[in-house]
């Protein structure tokens, strides 16, 4: 649902919440053109254009700066049956995201200027949520020779990553960090020592033993994070850890940050909420890489997100079709659909007081913007109007029909969740309006 930035938008009597400058007040927020033009009590009162304005007024609604997702799999080119750029951007808008970064494990891999350009052009032509490609670190994500990062960056890539695969060679990782730092772009690592995870189906622990499934030990993540921190210190490059999942990774990050090393990290909603026990029924929707861990990992991740050791929340939106999920666990593809569930899942942590509202918003706005060098979204006069309106109390049931993503693969299917995105605004344009679309069932 897209409406052109023409008549003003008014958010009347909303709780505008922007921790970047301490804004937390019941106010009116006015958008004219692509800008926020007024913020304040009764700010919409004397607006000349008020008759033509589109008004959002909802008791208890929260208005945030637009959310940024550092980690989404959009599958185009090559696997459009799972997701394409258009459906991915629709899902992003419905999830409250004004910007998403698209991982390069497409088919073919996004390891060249031509593919990056194609993705940028397709996304711009579709409009709505902005898409920022992430280029591959190595050609074909094979972990051997580096891509032409200068070309990728010039074509619009905001970072490089071999996500889905780890750069296991220390020599290649060192060169990748050195090369990327000359363009000031981060290297995003999928931390997995593949030699330790060959054939793994889930986290290695009591449940994998009980189910007789090969396990993915947490040390396979910790080893890579420890090595990468040393390389980041040595090269002075920007290192970002994708989908942190272990207590050990948190410990290593905390120590690295205390010593001033340039590292940042993200955590997904599913790693913050679900344990390996979710696999007890062999539910393929819970198969993900890295795998769901144990309660003490979750506690460590939640604490690290709360205290800023983990900077960002990222969805690792990984849509798969029923072909890859309605099968034996060993055959199933790893990954969960994520863009449209992030807000309700994380608000459940805010409600439990495991996370403050301020850190929740910071981890989806300022922190990811800083990692990849995007403009920081803000609610203030003159700022670009990138906004998301959320009703934190609205309950809805997750269903295939409620999700815009082609990926319906989520363990939260048929579950009732609380917190719903009501509208998403990108540079003054309404790219999602729950009232107009009516897709989510209440
Ligand atoms: O579970 C995952 N799915 N983890 C990854 O790292 C890749 C992703 C995918 O592309 O499906």
**Per-residue burial over 342-354, b = 16 or more CB atoms within 10 Å of its CB, e = otherwise:** bbbbbbbbbeeeb
Residues 123-176: tens digit of each pLDDT: 999 999 999 999 999 999 999 999 999 999 999 999 999 999 999 999 999 999
Q: Is residue 73 within 6 Å of ligand 1 at its C-beta? A: yes
Alpha carbon distances (Å) from 297 to 84, 167, 245, 294: 33, 24, 7, 5
Q: Is residue 164 within 6 Å of ligand 1 at its C-beta? A: yes
pLDDT average, residue stretch 288-312: 98
Q: Is residue 335 within 6 Å of ligand 1 at its C-beta? A: yes
Look at residue 36 and tell me whether its pLDDT is greater than 70. Answer: yes
Ligand 1 centroid distance, CA of 301 (Å): 19
Q: Which of 423, 372, 358, 425 is nearest to 71 (CA)?
A: 372
Pick from 40-49, 226-235, 247-256, 374-383: least confident: 40-49
Q: What is the pLDDT of residue 3?
A: 43
Q: What is the pLDDT of residue 194?
A: 98
Task: List the chain domain ranges.
Answer: 9-63+380-433, 66-372
Task: Please give the number of the atom of ligand 1 that sits closest to the Cα of 190.
Answer: 6
Ligand 1 centroid distance, CA of 270 (Å): 13
Nearest residue (by CA) to ligand 1, atom 9, is 318
Q: What is the pLDDT of residue 51?
A: 83
Q: What is the pLDDT of residue 50?
A: 81
Q: Is residue 291 within 6 Å of ligand 1 at its C-beta? A: no
Which residue is catalytic, options 18, 316, 386, 433? 316
Task: Please give the number of the atom of ligand 1 that sits closest to the Cα of 287.
Answer: 1
Alpha carbon distances (Å) from 221 to 78, 217, 256, 348: 29, 8, 16, 27
Return the H-helix or E-strand segment holding 115: helix 113-126
pLDDT average, residue stretch 200-218: 98
Return the H-helix or E-strand segment holding 179: helix 170-182
pLDDT average, residue stretch 48-52: 81
Ligand 1 centroid distance, CA of 320 (Å): 10
Percent of the chain with pLDDT over 90: 95
Alpha carbon distances (Å) from 14 to 57, 358, 388, 391: 7, 16, 11, 10
pLDDT average, residue stretch 71-82: 98
Q: Is residue 105 within 6 Å of ligand 1 at its C-beta? A: yes
Q: What is the pLDDT of residue 385?
A: 98
pLDDT average, residue stretch 101-105: 99
Nearest residue (by CA) to ligand 1, atom 6, is 164
Of 137, 161, 334, 409, the one to substitute when testing ligand 1's pocket (max ligand atoms within 8 A of C-beta) is 334
Q: Is residue 268 within 6 Å of ligand 1 at its C-beta? A: no
Q: How far apart are CA 272 and CA 269, in angstroms?
A: 5
Residues 405-442: tens digit of each pLDDT: 999 999 999 999 999 999 999 999 999 999 987 554 33
| Cβ atoms within 10 Å of 25's Cβ, excluding its own | 13
Task: Please give the number of the atom of ligand 1 that sits closest to the Cα of 243.
Answer: 6
Ligand 1 centroid distance, CA of 37 (Å): 40
Average pLDDT, the chain: 96
Q: What does CATH list as the number for 9-63+380-433? A: 2.30.40.10
Look at residue 104 and tell me whether its pLDDT is greater than 70. Answer: yes
Q: What is the pLDDT of residue 442?
A: 33
Nearest residue (by CA) to ligand 1, atom 5, is 164
Whole-prediction pTM:
0.97
Residues 348-391: tens digit of each pLDDT: 999 999 999 999 999 999 999 999 999 999 999 999 999 999 99
Of 69, 73, 284, the one to substitute when testing ligand 1's pocket (max ligand atoms within 8 A of C-beta) is 73
Q: Place 2 in a pLDDT band, splitting at 50, 70 and 90.
A: very low
Q: What is the pLDDT of residue 436?
A: 87
Q: What is the pLDDT of residue 5?
A: 53
Of 88, 188, 269, 318, the one to substitute when testing ligand 1's pocket (max ligand atoms within 8 A of C-beta) is 318
Please confirm, yes or no, whether 316 is among the known catalytic residues: yes
Q: How far apart are CA 189 and CA 244, in angstroms?
A: 10
Q: Is residue 334 within 6 Å of ligand 1 at its C-beta? A: yes
Ligand 1 centroid distance, CA of 164 (Å): 5
Q: Do 89 and 126 contact (CB within 8 A), yes or no? A: yes
Q: Do 269 and 338 contact (CB within 8 A), yes or no? A: yes
The matching CATH number, chosen from 3.20.20.140, 3.40.50.1000, 2.60.40.10, 3.30.300.30, for 66-372 is 3.20.20.140
Q: How far apart are CA 301 and CA 316, in angstroms?
A: 16
Nearest residue (by CA) to ligand 1, atom 3, is 335
């Amino acid at each position: 649902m897209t409406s052109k930035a023409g008549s003003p938008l008014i958010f009347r009597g909303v709780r505008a919440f922007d921790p970047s400058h301490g804004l937390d007040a019941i106010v009116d927020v006015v958008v004219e053109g692509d800008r926020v033009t007024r913020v304040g009590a009764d700010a919409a009162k004397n607006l000349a254009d008020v008759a033509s304005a589109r008004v959002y007024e909802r008791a208890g609604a929260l208005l945030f700066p637009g959310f940024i997702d550092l980690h989404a799999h959009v599958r185009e080119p090559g696997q459009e049956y799972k997701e394409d750029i258009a459906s991915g951007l629709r899902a992003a808008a419905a999830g409250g995201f004004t910007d998403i970064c698209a991982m390069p494990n497409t088919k073919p891999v996004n390891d060249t200027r031509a593919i990056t350009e194609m993705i940028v052009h397709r996304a711009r032509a579709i409009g709505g949520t902005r898409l920022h490609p992430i280029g591959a670190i190595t050609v074909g994500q094979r972990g051997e020779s580096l891509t032409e990062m200068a070309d990728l960056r010039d074509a619009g890539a905001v970072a490089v990553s071999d996500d889905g695969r780890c750069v296991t060679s220390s020599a290649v990782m060192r060169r990748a960090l050195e090369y990327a730092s000359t363009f000031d772009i981060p290297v995003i690592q999928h931390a997995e020592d593949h030699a330790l995870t060959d054939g793994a189906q889930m986290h290695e622990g009591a449940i994998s033993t009980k189910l007789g499934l090969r396990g993915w030990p947490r040390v396979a993540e910790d080893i890579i994070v420890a090595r990468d921190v040393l390389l980041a210190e040595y090269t002075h490059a920007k290192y970002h850890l994708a989908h942190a999942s272990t207590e050990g990774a948190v410990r290593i990050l905390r120590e690295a940050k205390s010593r001033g090393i340039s590292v940042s990290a993200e955590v997904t909603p599913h790693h913050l909420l679900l344990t390996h026990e979710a696999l007890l029924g062999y539910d393929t929707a819970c198969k993900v890489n890295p795998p769901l861990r144990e309660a003490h990992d979750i506690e460590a991740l939640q604490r690290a997100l709360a205290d800023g050791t983990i900077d960002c929340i990222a969805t690792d939106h990984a849509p798969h079709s029923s072909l890859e999920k309605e099968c034996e666990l060993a055959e199933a593809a790893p990954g969960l659909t994520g863009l449209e569930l992030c807000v309700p899942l994380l608000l459940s942590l805010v409600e439990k007081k495991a996370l403050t509202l301020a850190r929740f918003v910071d981890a989806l706005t300022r922190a990811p913007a800083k990692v990849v060098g995007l403009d920081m979204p803000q609610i203030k006069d003159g700022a670009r109007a990138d906004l998301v309106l959320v009703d934190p109390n609205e309950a809805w049931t997750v269903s295939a029909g409620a999700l815009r993503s082609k990926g319906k693969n989520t363990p939260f299917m048929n579950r009732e969740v609380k917190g719903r995105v009501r509208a998403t605004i990108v540079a003054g344009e309404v790219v999602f309006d729950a009232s107009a679309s009516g897709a989510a069932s209440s």
